[in-house]
Structure 1
Amino acid sequence: MTPASDTLPPPSTRALILGSTSRYRHELLSRLGLPFEAVAPQVDETPHPGEAPAALALRLAIEKARNVAQRHPQAVVIGSDQVADLHGEPLGKPGTHERAVAQLRRMRGQTVVFQTALAVVCQATGFEQHDIAAVRVVFRDLSDDEIEHYLRKEQPYDCAGSAKSEGLGIALLERIDNDDPTALVGLPLIRTCRMVRAAGVQIL
């Protein structure tokens, strides 16, 4: 009798590429133990006039994956993007301390939806899937001193909405509601696993 382990399908021979230079997404994808390369997508991330936060995040995730897939057509490419949604207004990465202060002052005591979009593309096989993980986050009614202390210590200027929940940013929050625990950090791994398996990449 052939051992059960010998009946498993062979691992995919296709390269796996993360279409992102985000250190947060790189760390998250590394948790799966798969070899992959990170490639910077060449995409204009400027929102379209009147574009809703979820639509913006999904469009950019798809554009990033397609852009990298065009340069690496044989690979399975992961693209992702996150936009903070404050009552329909998109909030991106603040970039500066002053913008981060302004963002957190607006978000204190509010419910913010972090729209984390994911796209997986393989140009050679014509494979493309995309999805979005919406994470509802309730912020505490933060004082100006708390905001300043958090920003000076964490410096989350490359995080959408200035909220680095995997660090000190967890102290900003009252509650998190989501169905994909890593989505708030920047890459929804449950969805990622499902999509790359569908694209032919063996994980387990």
Structure 2
Amino acid sequence: MMKAPLLLASTSIYRAERLACLQIPFEQASPRCDETPHQGETPADLALRLARIKADSLTDDYPDHLIIGSDQTASDPDGRLLGKPGTAEAAARQLKRCSGGTVIFNSAVALAGPIIEAWNVTTEVRFRTLSDAEIGRYIEKDQPLDCAGSFKVEALGITLFEWVRSDDPNALIGLPLLSLSRHLRRLGYELP
């Protein structure tokens, strides 16, 4: 029996690179989603809700596909959401808030199509105590302006940390491949 083609409901190059590691052909499309947090919504609930909405937003356009929606939230040591900074100044402010503390990342995945299910993988990141000069050098070299939390773990951002704790090292990049692989295998997709 032929499996439904995969569709990644994301324009993220980082998520596409992660999914490509599984060596299953997939398409990519931009989901329709208002990413505004709801009043009182936890970062974990926000990530799950957005992953579901992203996957579900494309089911009418791609009715024969298994659609993978994903979203990630980051919260600083005080529990405040960290977004994509957009500017070097905002990135410096975020990294200063995270310096010496633990940041929690929630990487949610939702599958829509013949089934709908969603899950979340939590990652804890402990930042070193960072000087203003280190923060400035890092931002200049890695340009993490489109990354939640203001760093790229797959690049120079790894040098900002004391440790990372997660059940899936891919989750921090935005797509938890260990759990996604488990779900895809269960649905009959052939993976090693």
- Indicate the SS of the match to 2:58: helix
Task: Quote the Cα distance in structure 1 between the aligned partners of 2:60 and 2:74.
Answer: 28
2:79 is equivalent to residue 88 of structure 1: yes
Task: Quote the Cα distance in structure 1 between the aligned partners of 2:92 and 2:58.
Answer: 34
Report the equivalent of 1:53.
Answer: 43
Task: Quote the Cα distance in structure 2 between the aligned partners of 1:70 and 1:56.
Answer: 23
Structure 2 stretches lacking a partner, 5+ long: none
Number of residue-to-residue matches in the alignment = 191
Task: Quote the Cα distance in structure 2 between the aligned partners of 1:159 and 1:130.
Answer: 22
Q: State the 1:200 CA deviation.
A: 3.7
Report the equivalent of 1:63.
Answer: 53
Report the equivalent of 1:114.
Answer: 105
In structure 2, give the amino acid aligned to 1:199. L
In structure 2, give the amino acid aligned to 1:182. N
2:181 is equivalent to residue 193 of structure 1: yes
2:142 is equivalent to residue 154 of structure 1: yes
* TM-score (normalizing by structure 1): 0.90
Task: Quote the Cα distance in structure 2 between the aligned partners of 1:68 and 1:101.
Answer: 36
- Indicate the SS of the match to 1:68: coil
Task: Quote the Cα distance in structure 1 between the aligned partners of 2:28 and 2:7.
Answer: 6
CA contact (8 A) 1:76 1:196 kept: no
Task: Quote the Cα distance in structure 2 between the aligned partners of 1:42 and 1:141.
Answer: 38
Q: State the 1:69 CA deviation.
A: 1.9
Cα offsets for 1:58-105 (capped at 9, x unmatched):
110110011122321110010111111223221121111111111000
Report the equivalent of 1:6.
Answer: none
Task: Quote the Cα distance in structure 2 between the aligned partners of 1:154 and 1:194.
Answer: 33
CA contact (8 A) 1:76 1:199 kept: no
Larger Rg: 1
- Indicate the SS of the match to 2:84: coil
In structure 1, give the amino acid aligned to 2:185. R
In structure 2, give the amino acid aligned to 1:137. V
In structure 1, give the amino acid aligned to 2:94. Q
In structure 2, give the amino acid aligned to 1:89. R
In structure 2, give the amino acid aligned to 1:187. L
Structure 1 stretches lacking a partner, 5+ long: 1-9
In structure 1, give the amino acid aligned to 2:154. E
Sequence identity of aligned pairs in percent?
Answer: 48
Report the equivalent of 1:44.
Answer: 34
In structure 1, give the amino acid aligned to 2:31. P
| Aligned residues: CA RMSD | 1.2
